């Protein structure tokens, strides 16, 4: 009787201890249209995993109690169950194929780069970021303790050209459900379509040197009217990436 009472606790304990969040399962819902596509795929994978895992768990429990030893006699031996064998071969194939198809569809939607009204060239360097708006010449640059901010208009397609000035960096915005390498000599191109105004944190995700942990930035999403005013404002005289890197090496972060 005591063991039976512990069964529900054993089932609920992993869920409670893992801090499982429903229905997000610990992921962000996505502040961009691309991020929401990735979020839906994550939900689908998680639900599929729960269904498969739950079914396997029930089979294990059933086998434990149904075929537990009651005496020392050898139980009846059964060989070949064609229907069952076909089912446990075909069903997993269909599950994997379905997950693969949904993954390809979602990745194509996330990686699509349709024509956009706004283009931003993002350059990562040790240890900071430069955001350049070629249409107006607007430049935002910052390093280590001076965290730069990339400004985007909401409900507009924005094209990002991402590269690195030195080593491999990682461009990651958690609430966008998006991460991409910034590589020297390689330009990665992708689109954002931010759905709501707000400020979203970003960071480098690749260990890139001494001040990697300080290589932070933020993304501020504003209305199209506010963006048009901001992007045409004079950015002032800003140091080049080379000058900033020289200052960091000479005087440390925040120099």
pLDDT attached to residue 251: 57
Reported as half-sphere exposure (CB side, CA atoms, 13 A), residue 82 has a value of 0
Query: Is 227 inside a domain boundary?
Result: yes
Which residue in 125, 157, 155 sits closest to 141, CA to CA? 125
What pLDDT, on the 0 to 100 scale, is given for residue 1? 60
d(CA 221, CA 215): 20
- For residue 250, the model assigns a pLDDT of 61
Is 96 inside a domain boundary?
A: yes
Structural contact between residues 69 and 76, judged by C-beta atoms closer than 8 angstroms: no
Question: What is the per-residue pLDDT across 15-36, written as a single tens digit (0 to 9) for each?
Answer: 665 556 566 666 778 788 888 8
Q: Residue 135 falls within a domain, yes or no?
A: yes
Dist CA 169 CA 141 (whole Å) = 16
Cα dihedral: 200, 204, 210, 214 (round 10): 0
84 and 172 in a single domain? The answer is no
Evaluate whether residue 81 is within a structural domain: yes
Which residues of the chain carry a pLDDT beneath 70? 1-4, 11-26, 234-240, 243-255
Q: Answer yes or no: do 11 and 78 share one domain.
A: yes
pLDDT of residue 201: 92
We report the CATH number of the domain holding residue 106 as 1.10.287
Tally the domains of the chain: 2
Query: Is 38 contained in some domain?
Result: yes
Domain boundary at 111, 140, 163, which?
Answer: 111
pLDDT score for 246 = 66
**According to the model, what pLDDT value does residue 37 have?**
87
Within 13 Å, how many C-alpha atoms sit on residue 21's CB side? 6
Instruction: Give me the count of residues in the chain.
Output: 255
Question: pLDDT digit string (tens) for 50-103?
Answer: 889 889 989 888 888 877 777 777 777 778 888 888 888 999 999 999 999 999
Last residue of a domain, one of 48, 79, 111: 111
Task: Report cis status (omega within 30 of 0) of the bond before 239.
Answer: no
Distance CA 61, CA 55 (A): 10
User: Does 124 share its domain with 196?
Assistant: yes
Q: Which domain holds residue 14?
A: 2-111
Same domain, residue pair 59 and 143: no
* pLDDT of amino acid 121: 92
The reply to whether 157 falls in a domain is yes
Residue 222 has a pLDDT of 93
Per-residue pLDDT, 16 = 61
> Which of 84, 111, 138 is the last residue in one of the domains?
111
């Amino acid at each position: 009787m005591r063991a039976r009472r512990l069964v529900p606790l054993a089932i609920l304990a992993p869920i409670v201890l893992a801090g499982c969040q429903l229905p997000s399962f610990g992921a962000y819902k996505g502040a961009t249209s691309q991020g929401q596509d990735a979020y839906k795929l994550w939900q689908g994978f998680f639900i599929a995993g729960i269904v498969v895992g739950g079914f396997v768990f029930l089979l294990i429990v059933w086998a434990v109690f149904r075929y537990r030893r009651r005496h020392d006699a050898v139980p009846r031996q059964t060989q070949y169950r064609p229907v069952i064998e076909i089912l446990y071969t075909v069903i997993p194939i269909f599950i994997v194929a379905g997950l693969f198809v949904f993954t390809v569809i979602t990745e194509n939607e996330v990686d699509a780069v349709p024509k956009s009204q706004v283009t931003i060239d993002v350059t990562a360097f040790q240890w900071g970021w430069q955001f350049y708006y070629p249409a107006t010449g607007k430049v935002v640059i910052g390093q280590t303790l001076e965290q730069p901010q990339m400004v985007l208009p909401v409900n507009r397609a924005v094209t990002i050209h991402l590269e690195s000035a030195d080593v491999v960096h990682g461009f990651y915005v958690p609430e966008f459900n998006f991460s991409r390498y910034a590589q020297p000599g390689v330009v990665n191109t992708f689109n954002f379509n931010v759905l709501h105004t707000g400020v979203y944190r970003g960071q480098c995700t690749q260990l890139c040197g001494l001040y990697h942990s300080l290589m932070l930035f933020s993304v501020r999403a504003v209305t199209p009217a506010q963006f048009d005013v901001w992007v045409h404002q004079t950015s002032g005289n800003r140091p080049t990436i080379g000058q900033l890197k020289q200052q960091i090496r000479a005087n440390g972060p925040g120099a």
